[in-house]
Amino acid sequence: MLIHYRELVHDLAQRFTDFAKSFEKGAPLYSRIAARVAEEPAVLELMSVAPIAQRIPVLLFASAHYLLLDDRYHELAQHYPNITSTPPTGDAANLFVAFVLQRADAMKELLANRTTQTNEISRCNWFLFPSAMLDAEVGPLAQVDVGSSAGLNQLFPNLGFDLNPGGLIGKSAALTITCDITGTPPVPTDRPHVIWSMGLDTKPIDVRNDAGVRWLEACVWPDQVERFNRLQRAIALARHHNIVVERGDAVDDVAQAIERAAKHAHPVVTTSWVLNYLPPERRIAFVDELDRVGSERDLSWVIAESPYETPELPGHRGSDELITVITLVTWRQGQRSVQRLATTHPHGQWIHWGN
């Protein structure tokens, strides 16, 4: 037991030390805190309640951030750039250690039950060009977003896109996202006609549920102020547009979702950074399921995933690229074709069109 405890503390201390070194420039607040936590066995020990795969620094940080977002006047919260615009210069690391030990019960509850979540609104850049191509070919469109989280990918027909170069698409949009472009994608003159959409997720986040939304916000790093503000605005927009994500599994429930979409318009499945969560045999089953549906009706699928993480997907075989690749798969009269379109930043900040 004692050996187990020592190993746990030793391994976690190493993870926090590595985190501190890796993110010294990109996330100075968490880097400083991680270096301090690495020396604090009492904090490291709290993490023993988390499932083994989740014993990662970002889960501890997200849990504390979640509590602070509900305690915004706490002295520690004053060091979080996303909570206060003028953080003090003093070091937050000791305050962090004291905070998580004081709130140990609440921390353990979160560490034991939560997993880190991402739903990045700038990823909507990935769907603009493929859907413009589809809109011109078979539009209007009905979207089934699989692994939808809070459903923010469903907002893409409502966003403004500030393309550099390329200019602005959707001038009157309540939220505009930016994207640096290289290569020559098919830039549409207007936003795509997506007239119906739904999301599917094994653990959907309801944007109307304050606690669910707070967890999503807590998973954003506090040094990323712009990203945090963008997420808050996207959530407000998702509430406004009544975005819904239904509970369901990628493999078991996608065919039924496509049937529903097809009643409204040409069905387009979108998957972004979700299929890496499935074991290889389930990824194969997902592709088989879309092939089965595609043999019976016209269908399109926009993939934005890493080939290295998802080698079983169309177009990914033989590639060891870690980067996100955008691929368009279409089934027309039973014939499948696969087009590799672009590589892109994992959060959609830039797109390189072409191979």
Q: Which two tokens stand for residue 260?
A: 């529903």
Q: Which residues inside 242-281 make contact with ligand SAM, applying CB under 6 A?
A: 249-250, 272-274, 277-278
Kindly state the smallest distance separating residue 146's Cβ from ligand SAM, in Å. Answer: 6
Which residue, 151 or 185, is less far from ligand SAM as judged by CB? 151
Kindly state the smallest distance separating residue 339's Cβ from ligand SAM, in Å. Answer: 20
d(CA 162, CA 351): 13
Which residue, 99 or 221, is less far from ligand SAM as judged by CB? 221
Using rule CB under 6 A, residue 287 touches ligand SAM: no
Q: Which two tokens stand for residue 325?
A: 């690749």
Strand, coil or helix: what is 187?
Answer: coil
Size of the site for ligand SAM (CB under 6 A): 20
Kindly state the smallest distance separating residue 275's Cβ from ligand SAM, in Å. Answer: 8
Using rule CB under 6 A, residue 206 touches ligand SAM: no
Strand, coil or helix: what is 215?
Answer: helix
Using rule CB under 6 A, residue 240 touches ligand SAM: no
Using rule CB under 6 A, residue 82 touches ligand SAM: no
Q: Which two tokens stand for residue 235?
A: 């959530």
Using rule CB under 6 A, residue 325 touches ligand SAM: no
CA–centroid distance for 35 within its chain: 27
Strand, coil or helix: what is 266?
Answer: strand
Q: Is the dihedral of CA 62, 54, 7, 12 positive or negative?
A: negative
d(CA 257, CA 254): 5
Distances (CA, A) of 33 to 28, 38, 66: 9, 9, 16
Cβ contact 195:141 at 8 Å: yes
Using rule CB under 6 A, residue 202 touches ligand SAM: yes
For residue 273, the number of C-alpha atoms closer than 13 Å in the C-beta half-sphere is: 18
Identity of the residue numbered 31: S
Using rule CB under 6 A, residue 143 touches ligand SAM: no
Which residue, 63 or 324, is less far from ligand SAM as judged by CB? 324
Which of 82, 149, 306, 344 binds ligand SAM (CB under 6 A)? It is 149
Kindly state the smallest distance separating residue 200's Cβ from ligand SAM, in Å. Answer: 6
Q: Which residue is nearest to ligand SAM (CB)?
A: 147
Using rule CB under 6 A, residue 147 touches ligand SAM: yes
Which residue, 84 or 178, is less far from ligand SAM as judged by CB? 178
Using rule CB under 6 A, residue 216 touches ligand SAM: no
Query: What distance separates the 2 farthest-apart alpha carbons in the chain?
Result: 65
Which of 19, 31, 194, 201 binds ligand SAM (CB under 6 A)? It is 201
Using rule CB under 6 A, residue 120 touches ligand SAM: yes
Kindly state the smallest distance separating residue 184's Cβ from ligand SAM, in Å. Answer: 25
Cβ contact 297:305 at 8 Å: no
Using rule CB under 6 A, residue 312 touches ligand SAM: no
Cβ contact 79:30 at 8 Å: no
Cβ contact 152:122 at 8 Å: no
For ligand SAM, the binding residues (CB under 6 A) are 118-120, 123, 146-149, 153, 200-203, 249-250, 272-274, 277-278
